Each structure stands twice: as structure tokens, then as C-alpha cells.
């Protein structure tokens, strides 16, 4: 497996295309370029990050970027989630389906950039991981991709997968409203195996970063996606996390987003944790520069904030009932 140069913070590209109004190329390209200028070497994408009438939009955007800026391609480790039917978001992990998805990923990228890590976006409880990994490994052995990742798996699946083929990274939700990977031991297993955790949704869908003006506004917009934590009654309670982060940020002369990323980075590689690489998304140069401006917490600042987070009981589950069967498989 190729040694991958993954920066301490990565860049999530979902927001550019999984929306009724995709970001125009000039705006997207400027934001993507700004991430590279900030020293980011890891981008996270998805073959299904699009609406049905715009297939592979996320990957095609990336291909267009590297067509314009081919000199940037060697600087980036690109992780791509796939093996999901974009029409119904069903998991597709039979061998022939895996090959179809990977071939489609490579076709959409058009050779403009290598796939550093190929991830099945979810596992199917009915299909053993031992049947999935060897199919992806065919593409590693053929030199078509550099490494294999997993997403939303539990510690036993991670161990079993790594026994079949080295796992380059595991993508797991990690935020102030989602600390389950530390509580259930998955993070510790990743550390023992030397597998970095790619922490998605570090801002709790934007809530803890101050994206919304109120709990009601956040609930109104996030309820469409079925995230139980962000139903109005739950979010009225969970909003207290934002209030705490905002207070720390104001005292520090930072933004809430910067404080959240600093809280995550503080834990990376410490106290038995694996390396944790948060992947905030942003669609404007201004937000990219804000997210990737280095901010650190003192030991005292971290202890104060982390004590509050650990003692705070989050209201509601991460996902709705339909989605939960594919989590931590």
C-alpha cells in the first residue's frame, strides 16, 4: 500500500454538489485552491454526492478542477466513498456491484487525479467484510487506486477487514454530539492498528460552528435529512453545546468552528486515541480560510471544554431508524 500524505485536517467536498444548487465552478475552484494554499493535502469526496439529475457531479467537479490545475493533482490524497445507489441511497456490495462502482468512479475522474483511498460508504450487515475487501484489493494490486478505506464500521469489522488487507483510513462521525467511537472502543482499535480516523461532520452539521442563527432555524433545515439530534425539541437542548463553544471562542478571539477543530485536533494521537483528521466542508474561500486558520487550545481550555462535552447528555440519535441499520456494522 502506498504511503499516503494525509494532512492533520482534511477538506470535505460534499457541499459543492449534493444540493439543488451546485456551487459554480469559479467559486468552487477558488475554495479548493484556497485549501491547498492552506496546506491541506486530503480531500474527501463521494460518487453519490449529487442529485439524481446530475450523476457523479462531485467527481466530475474534481476532474474539472484538476484539468484546470493539473499541477495540484500530486499534492492531494483523494478519498472517495462509493458503493451506494445514488437514486435510493441503497448499499451495493455484491462483487459485480463493487466493480461497477469503482469503474464508474475512475471514469468520472477521467485520470485527472488518482484515488488515494476508496471507501464503501456503508457496510451491508448481510455481506461479510471479508467478501468486500478482496474485490477492492484487486484495484490496489492493479495499480488503479492506492488504498482501501472503510466508513461507519464498528471495531470488530475494522479488525476483520484489516486482517484481509491493510486499511488506509476509517471514516467515522466524530464531533461534540458524536463521541461514540471513543466510548465504544472503536477509536482505540483504530489506534492499535495504526489506522487514522477521518472524522466527518465535525461541526455537527454546522450547528456547533454557528451556521444557524437559532435552534429553530437549524431544526427547520436539518429535519429534512432525518437527523434525530436536530429535531426541534432535541436541538433546543443540544444547542447548549454551541453556547459553550461560542463562549470559549469569544474569550479566545476565535470562531466557534476554529474552537471545534482545535478540540478535535487536541485529542488526535493522545490518551490512546488514533490520529483523528477532521474534514470540515466549505464552499467559499472565506469559510475555507476560517476553518483552516491554525488555532490551538491550552491544556486548561481543552480541559474546561472537554469536561463540559463529556458531561453533556446529547438528546436524540445521530441518524433516523432507517439509517441506523447501516451504522457501526
Residues identified as active-site: 49
Q: How far apart are CA 34 and CA 284, in angstroms?
A: 9
Helix (H) or strand (E) holding 183: helix 180-183
| Separation CA 296–CA 17 (nearest Å) | 31
Are residues 78 and 128 in contact, defined by beta-carbon separation less than 8 angstroms?
no
Contacts of 206-211 with C-beta under 8 Å, sequence gap 24+, read 207/177, 207/235, 207/238, 207/239, 207/241, 207/242, 208/175, 208/176, 208/177, 208/241, 208/242, 208/245, 208/256, 208/260, 209/255, 209/256, 209/257, 209/260, 209/280, 210/242, 210/246, 210/255, 210/256, 210/257
CB atoms within 10 A of CB 52: 9
Which residues does residue 79 pair with via DSSP β-bridges, in sequence order? Answer: 44, 117
Residue 82 sits at the vertex; the CA angle it makes with 61 and 38, to the nearest 5 degrees, is 45
Q: Which three cell numbers stand for residue 249?
A: 471562542
On the 0-12 / 13-18 / 19+ scale of CB atoms within 10 A, 11 is buried
Residue owning grid cell 483511498: 117
Amino acid at each position: 500500500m502506498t504511503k499516503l500524505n494525509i494532512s492533520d485536517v482534511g477538506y470535505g467536498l460534499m457541499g459543492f454538489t449534493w444540493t439543488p444548487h451546485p456551487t459554480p465552478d469559479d467559486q468552487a475552484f477558488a475554495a479548493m485552491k484556497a485549501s491547498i494554499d492552506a496546506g491541506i493535502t486530503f480531500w474527501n469526496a463521494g460518487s453519490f454526492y449529487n442529485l439524481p439529475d446530475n450523476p457523479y457531479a462531485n467527481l466530475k467537479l474534481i476532474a474539472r478542477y484538476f484539468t484546470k490545475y493539473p499541477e495540484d493533482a500530486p499534492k492531494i490524497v483523494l478519498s472517495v466513498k462509493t458503493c451506494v445507489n445514488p437514486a435510493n441511497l441503497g448499499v451495493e456490495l455484491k462483487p459485480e456491484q463493487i466493480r461497477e462502482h469503482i469503474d464508474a468512479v475512475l471514469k468520472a475522474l477521467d485520470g485527472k487525479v488518482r484515488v488515494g483511498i476508496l471507501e464503501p460508504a456503508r457496510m451491508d450487515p448481510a455481506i461479510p467484510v471479508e467478501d468486500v475487501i478482496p474485490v477492492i484489493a484487486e484495484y490496489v494490486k492493479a495499480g488503479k487506486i492506492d488504498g482501501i478505506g472503510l466508513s461507519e464500521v464498528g471495531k470488530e469489522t475494522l479488525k476483520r477487514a484489516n486482517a484481509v488487507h491493510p486499511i488506509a483510513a476509517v471514516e467515522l462521525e466524530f464531533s461534540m454530539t458524536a463521541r461514540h467511537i471513543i466510548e465504544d472502543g472503536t477509536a482505540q482499535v483504530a489506534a492499535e492498528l495504526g489506522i487514522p480516523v477521518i472524522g466527518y461532520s465535525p461541526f455537527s452539521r454546522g450547528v456547533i460552528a454557528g451556521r444557524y442563527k437559532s435552534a429553530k432555524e437549524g431544526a427547520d433545515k436539518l429535519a429534512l435529512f432525518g437527523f434525530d439530534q436536530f429535531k426541534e425539541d432535541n436541538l433546543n437542548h443540544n444547542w447548549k453545546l454551541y453556547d459553550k463553544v461560542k463562549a470559549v471562542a469569544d474569550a479566545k478571539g476565535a470562531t466557534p468552528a476554529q474552537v471545534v477543530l482545535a478540540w478535535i485536533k487536541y485529542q488526535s494521537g493522545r490518551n490512546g486515541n488514533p490520529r483523528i483528521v477532521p474534514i470540515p466542508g466549505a464552499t467559499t474561500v472565506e469559510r475555507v480560510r476560517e476553518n483552516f486558520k491554525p488555532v490551538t487550545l491550552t491544556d486548561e481550555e481543552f480541559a474546561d471544554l472537554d469536561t463540559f462535552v463529556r458531561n453533556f447528555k446529547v438528546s436524540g440519535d445521530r441518524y433516523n431508524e432507517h439509517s441506523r441499520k447501516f451504522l457501526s456494522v
